Amino acid sequence: MRDVRRDPAFLDDDPILEYLNNFGSALVAAYPGARGETGADFYFFAMRDPMLNAFALPGGFIAAHTGLLLAAQNESELASVMSHEIGHVTQRHIARMIGQQKQDALMPLAALILAALASKAGPDAAVGVMMGGQGLQIQRQLNFSRDAEREADRVGFQIMGSGGYDTSGMVGFFQRLQTATKVYSDLTPPWLMSHPLTSERIADIQARIRETPFRQRVDGLEFHLVRARARVLQDVSTQGLIDATKVFEFQLTNQSRQQQAAAQYGLALVALKRGELTKAGDLLAKARATMKPAAGAVFSTGQSTSDAASMFASMSLEIKLAPGQPASMAPLTVKEAEQAYQQFPLSRGIARQYAKALIASGQLDKAAVFLREQVRLYREEPKLYELLAQTYAAQGKLSLQHIALAESYVLSGAVPAAVDQLTIARKAPDASFYDLATIDARERELQERVKEEKKENKER
Ligand SMILES: [Zn+2]
């Protein structure tokens, strides 16, 4: 996962991450016992990739490609793929696969990779590999994963049902994905490659659908806002932004107000990426106005209005904190950020935007107090330490700046770089006696960790 985070394709975007984690947690909550005896955590994230795919990593990490977010027309369709992946995690398929390999004494990694590549190349090639020395073991591996797939479908379906999602569209969505790719390219999307729509699988799903009462579900506006964001952020090149604009302009002709608002929101983000800040602000105001209920009308934006409202609030701050805004605006931005933080205290993105606003307006003492409190509450966020380092730098507190930077490196998994920062912190002329004691203790811990990691690497 550390490697994934460093991958440029990792979509490090707070509103999308917050949406996916709210959405995913609700799915997980719909399956009793999903977190297992250990109360395991799940973490959902997106990869910048137009290919339709979703996958699970060991440890409850579940990824959706932007291509999948864009292909899903409603939350039920997105839920059908995500809850299948949750099924793999809850049934401990990955752990069981690794355990199985140990039992077999050896399942050389090279053979596994070869089998995986071969099965992508076509059924004949797979047979060819299986005829070789490792044949039996690979056969067992493939059989096991067919069972696992069936199990993940079963759990996924259960999650869809108790989560209140419409299961009737599941087969339709998978079939649509398959035909869409047949028309536009020869490539089967990766998810369908590992999850072929066999007639057996379709029959299984359809039998389950018949037993489930039909449920009409209203999607939240935030789903459409997240798709608009994914469309822009998937490709922020000049051409990418032109293409996204065309899609949004067409989307504006849609009758649904949610669709119109999402298109305006998307166009606002395009403007922001182009540095057209006034235009971005105007378009965002338009999106908000589109969703405002007419006087006296009861207007529902779906289940969790507050998520869409927090996305609007965070986008407004994103525009106001963008480079190129006049310094005179900073005090007003702080006020807006403080209000947004009070209104949406659970949004990590807005909390950091509040800190950024304080720093930009020169309220450094207040920023330092706020950030020190934040790192105490949220111990796993390297970005908080980066902001704290930035605050100390602006205050001219050199030693504290490099101590904070060291902590941000530790959390990103770059321990040797963290040790370097501590060395710089020690040499800083303003290092107090107390700072030096902190640095020494922390450095000893980190040196130990570096040694451990070296040992582990050797054993591997
Ligand atoms: Zn699967």
Q: Using one digit for the tens of pLDDT, what is the confidence trace for 6-18? A: 788 899 999 999 9
Distance (angstroms) between ligand 1 centre and the Cα of 12 equals 25
**The residue type at 256:** S
* Residue 105, pLDDT above cutoff 70: no
Quick one: pLDDT band at residue 217, thresholds 50, 70, 90? Answer: confident
pLDDT score recorded for residue 100: 60
pLDDT score recorded for residue 96: 67
pLDDT score recorded for residue 139: 40
Quick one: pLDDT band at residue 430, thresholds 50, 70, 90? Answer: very high
User: What residue ranges do the domains of the chain occupy?
Assistant: 2-210, 220-290, 363-460
**The residue type at 358:** L
* DSSP H or E run through 64: strand 61-65
Distance (angstroms) between ligand 1 centre and the Cα of 152 equals 6
Distance (angstroms) between ligand 1 centre and the Cα of 55 equals 8
Distance (angstroms) between ligand 1 centre and the Cα of 336 equals 44
Distance (angstroms) between ligand 1 centre and the Cα of 17 equals 22
Measured CA distances, 14 to 22, 70, 166, 303 (Å): 12, 18, 28, 21
Residue 106 CA to residue 134 CA, distance in Å, equals 10
User: What is the chain's alpha carbon radius of gyration, rounded to the nearest angstrom?
Assistant: 25
Distance (angstroms) between ligand 1 centre and the Cα of 16 equals 23
Distance (angstroms) between ligand 1 centre and the Cα of 300 equals 35
Q: Choose from 105-109, 208-212, 225-229, 378-382 the range with maximum mean pLDDT.
A: 225-229
Selected residue with higher pLDDT from 253 and 156: 253
pLDDT score recorded for residue 250: 97
Distance (angstroms) between ligand 1 centre and the Cα of 149 equals 5
Residue percentage of the chain with pLDDT more than 70: 80
Distance (angstroms) between ligand 1 centre and the Cα of 111 equals 21
Distance (angstroms) between ligand 1 centre and the Cα of 82 equals 10
Mean pLDDT over 84-103 rounds to 70
Side-chain half-sphere CA neighbours of 82 within 13 A: 34
Mean pLDDT over 97-108 rounds to 52
CB 177 within 8 A of CB 223: no
CB 402 within 8 A of CB 422: yes
Q: Choose from 170-179, 247-256, 409-418 the range with maximum mean pLDDT.
A: 247-256
Selected residue with higher pLDDT from 142 and 181: 181
Mean pLDDT over 107-130 rounds to 41
Distance (angstroms) between ligand 1 centre and the Cα of 85 equals 6
Residue 230 CA to residue 218 CA, distance in Å, equals 21
* Residue 61, pLDDT above cutoff 80: yes
Q: Choose from 3-12, 142-151, 299-308 the range with maximum mean pLDDT.
A: 3-12
* Residue 300, pLDDT above cutoff 80: no
Residues in the chain: 460
pLDDT score recorded for residue 403: 97
Mean pLDDT over 434-457 rounds to 90
* Residue 112, pLDDT above cutoff 70: no
Secondary-structure class of domain 363-460 per CATH: mainly alpha
Distance (angstroms) between ligand 1 centre and the Cα of 399 equals 49
Residue percentage of the chain with pLDDT more than 90: 53
Distance (angstroms) between ligand 1 centre and the Cα of 434 equals 53
pLDDT score recorded for residue 341: 96
Least confident window among 84-93, 216-225, 345-354, 391-400? 84-93
Q: Which residues pair with 54 in a beta bridge?
A: 64
pLDDT score recorded for residue 145: 67
Distance (angstroms) between ligand 1 centre and the Cα of 95 equals 14
Distance (angstroms) between ligand 1 centre and the Cα of 64 equals 13
Q: Mean pLDDT, the chain, as a whole number?
A: 83
Distance (angstroms) between ligand 1 centre and the Cα of 307 equals 29
Distance (angstroms) between ligand 1 centre and the Cα of 89 equals 10
pLDDT score recorded for residue 312: 97
Selected residue with higher pLDDT from 216 and 260: 260
* Of 27, 10, 20, 81, the residue nearest 1 (C-alpha): 10
Distance (angstroms) between ligand 1 centre and the Cα of 58 equals 14
Distance (angstroms) between ligand 1 centre and the Cα of 50 equals 19
Measured from the Cβ of residue 160, the count of other Cβ atoms closer than 10 Å reads 27
Residue 418 CA to residue 81 CA, distance in Å, equals 39
Distance (angstroms) between ligand 1 centre and the Cα of 235 equals 27
Distance (angstroms) between ligand 1 centre and the Cα of 93 equals 10
Distance (angstroms) between ligand 1 centre and the Cα of 13 equals 26
Quick one: pLDDT band at residue 168, thresholds 50, 70, 90? Answer: confident
Residue 68 CA to residue 267 CA, distance in Å, equals 21
Selected residue with higher pLDDT from 22 and 191: 22
Quick one: pLDDT band at residue 140, thresholds 50, 70, 90? Answer: very low
Mean pLDDT over 123-131 rounds to 37
Quick one: pLDDT band at residue 283, thresholds 50, 70, 90? Answer: very high
Measured from the Cβ of residue 332, the count of other Cβ atoms closer than 10 Å reads 12
**The residue type at 337:** A
Quick one: pLDDT band at residue 304, thresholds 50, 70, 90? Answer: very low
Long-range contacts of 134-140 (CB under 8 A, 24+ apart): 134/107, 134/108, 137/104, 137/107, 137/111, 138/111, 138/112, 140/100, 140/104
Distance (angstroms) between ligand 1 centre and the Cα of 198 equals 13
